[in-house]
Amino acid sequence: MIQMACFRHLRRRFTISPCLILLFGCFWIVDCSRSVNHVSHQQRRPSITPINRDLYHTSDTLMKEVIKLVKRHQDRFHVGSVPFPFSHFFPIYRICLFDSLTFQQIETFTSSNKGYKADLNVVTYCQNITDIKDSSKLRILLSFGQHARELITSEVALKMLYILSEEQTLPKRNPVLLNRTLQNLIIKVVPIENLNGRAKVEAGEICERRNGRGVDLNRNWSVDWGKKEKDYDPKEENPGSGPFSEPESQMMRKLSRSFNPHIWVNVHSGMEALFMPYDHKNTTPPGEQSEKMKLMLETLNHLHCDDRCAVGSGGKSVGYLAHGTTTDYMFEVAKIPVSFTFEIYGDEKAAWQDCFKMFNPVDRPTFDRVVNEWSAALLSMFEMGLHEMKFVKEMAPVNVDNLISIDDYLKGYLIERKNRYGEKTELLEIGLQEMRTYFRLFLLSSILLMFMFCSRIPKSTRTVLPPVTP
């Protein structure tokens, strides 16, 4: 009996063992297939190009280099002298940097909104400091690095400052003609408009184009703000909570108002193009002004882009409409007669996840070519603008934008102001529209009362003649 039980036990063990072997074999096959799939997926996934630190500055090192350059050439770079209008009503402050011996001659503007703070560095170029207020000179405003991932644009800004300082030159550029042109210009350069977004890119978010709190600064302006196309992606085109909700946009608007330029250029990358208004519709403005702008762009395309750049309105040439852009505001509202957007580089073959390669050159020869070509294009634009100076200045309006509107006053004063201790105080935005309405009614009623009072004065002082008796 005991022997029979042992036999049955051994038979059960040997009948189970093949099942276990088969089960383990199935697990092994599945695991191998998963490994193969994982390897093939890794092979299919495109590689991500990192930032080439041998070619590109960090934002911190770039600005330090700009400051050193400005200090070496204080005869050419100056602090802008036109103050921000009614700056005590707004959370925007001007900080002029000094050292113990010399004036650094670079401006830093600081603004904040709802706990989010941003800085804006501005370099002003004029060959003679006594001419900084000369209204006969052509005024040009250039902005670089509005989108965080477009590092190449700020490298062009640095190159331009080196050329203006005469520490560097460009081949095939007549220095006598260039100097004669620069004598008649005042140029303001914003090397990196979006410092907070740039910091996120340098920290590893290579595809980030928005600012430090996720707003696209080139969708945060008031012309056609907030409209969304069918392919709208909030990770790319978030317009913010309202026009000029972002400190960076507020500071750029104040800068454009105080400087009142004749020419505006917003430098981007992603493709090769020379754009003029409009971005929010697929047409260009009518009239002689538009024709002259287009002729300037076509000339630049021929001289510096080998006729390969797209030319025309951004809304028509780029293939999609963009709402709330800076250039549309500069042309339509700020009335800057020559308003452009330059797209200086794009790698159409790069995978959409490989953002650094898509928006920036990754090798030295291409990097040098782009920086030199577009620096030369900007200098040619200066020469053409000076040639058309009479036309440009005739089209430039009186700078009535320096006068503050009631809406701007209320928005700036009620939403965020400084209390008497210098601490920033944020008030509720509830009822803002009602406050504007009451303020307008108050002004209107005051004017009506004053008119009624003045109209009664002659009646009270008029001599009353006695009635004539027959």
pLDDT tens-digit profile of 297-329?
999 999 999 999 999 999 988 878 999 999 999
When pLDDT is cut at 50, 70 and 90, the band that residue 214 belongs to is very high
| DSSP string computed for 317-348 | HSSS---S-HHHHHHHTS--SEEEEEEEE--T
When pLDDT is cut at 50, 70 and 90, the band that residue 21 belongs to is low
- How far, in Å, CA of 308 to CA of 272, rounded? 8
Is the model's pLDDT at 134 over the cut of 60? Answer: yes
When pLDDT is cut at 50, 70 and 90, the band that residue 404 belongs to is very low
Name which of 18-22, 265-269, 341-345 the model is least confident about: 18-22
Residue with the larger pLDDT of the pair 108 and 347: 347
Looking at residue 234, what is its pLDDT?
86
Is the model's pLDDT at 255 over the cut of 80? Answer: yes
Q: Is the dihedral of CA 203, 208, 211, 212 positive or negative?
A: negative
* CATH superfamily ID and name for 59-397: Zn peptidases (3.40.630.10)
- How far, in Å, CA of 104 to CA of 73, rounded? 10
Asked if residues 105 and 75 have their Cβ atoms less than 8 Å apart, the reply is no
- How far, in Å, CA of 275 to CA of 321, rounded? 13
Q: What is residue 440's three-state secondary structure? A: helix
Looking at residue 85, what is its pLDDT?
37
Helical H runs in 345-399? 355-359, 364-387, 389-395
The arithmetic mean of pLDDT across residues 360-388, rounded, is: 96
Instruction: For Cα atoms 327, 118, 98, give the angle at the middle one, nearest 5 degrees.
Output: 105
Residues 6+ apart with CB under 8 A from 160: 142, 189, 375, 378
Report the 10 Å Cβ neighbour count for 407. Answer: 13
The arithmetic mean of pLDDT across residues 327-342, rounded, is: 97
Highest mean pLDDT among 107-111, 165-169, 398-402, 405-409: 165-169
Of the chain, the end-to-end C-alpha distance in Å amounts to 163
The arithmetic mean of pLDDT across residues 425-436, rounded, is: 49
The arithmetic mean of pLDDT across residues 37-64, rounded, is: 78
When pLDDT is cut at 50, 70 and 90, the band that residue 28 belongs to is low
Name which of 74-78, 224-228, 409-413 the model is least confident about: 409-413
Asked if residues 133 and 181 have their Cβ atoms less than 8 Å apart, the reply is no
Q: Which residues does residue 340 pair with via DSSP β-bridges, in sequence order?
A: 265
Residues 6+ apart with CB under 8 A from 103: 74, 79, 96
Looking at residue 239, what is its pLDDT?
96
- How far, in Å, CA of 371 to CA of 445, rounded? 59
Looking at residue 231, what is its pLDDT?
83
Q: What percent of the chain stands above pLDDT 70?
A: 70
Looking at residue 394, what is its pLDDT?
63
When pLDDT is cut at 50, 70 and 90, the band that residue 443 belongs to is confident
Asked if residues 218 and 211 have their Cβ atoms less than 8 Å apart, the reply is no
Q: What is the mean pLDDT of the chain?
A: 79
Is the model's pLDDT at 1 over the cut of 90? Answer: no
Half-sphere exposure of 127 (CA within 13 A, CB side): 13
Name which of 175-184, 248-257, 348-357, 402-411 the model is least confident about: 402-411
Looking at residue 330, what is its pLDDT?
98
- How far, in Å, CA of 370 to CA of 268, rounded? 12
Report the 10 Å Cβ neighbour count for 4. Answer: 8
Helix (H) or strand (E) holding 197: helix 195-202
Looking at residue 252, what is its pLDDT?
97
Q: Is the dihedral of CA 155, 161, 167, 173 positive or negative?
A: positive
- How far, in Å, CA of 149 to CA of 335, rounded? 29
Q: What percent of the chain stands above pLDDT 90?
A: 56
Looking at residue 457, what is its pLDDT?
59
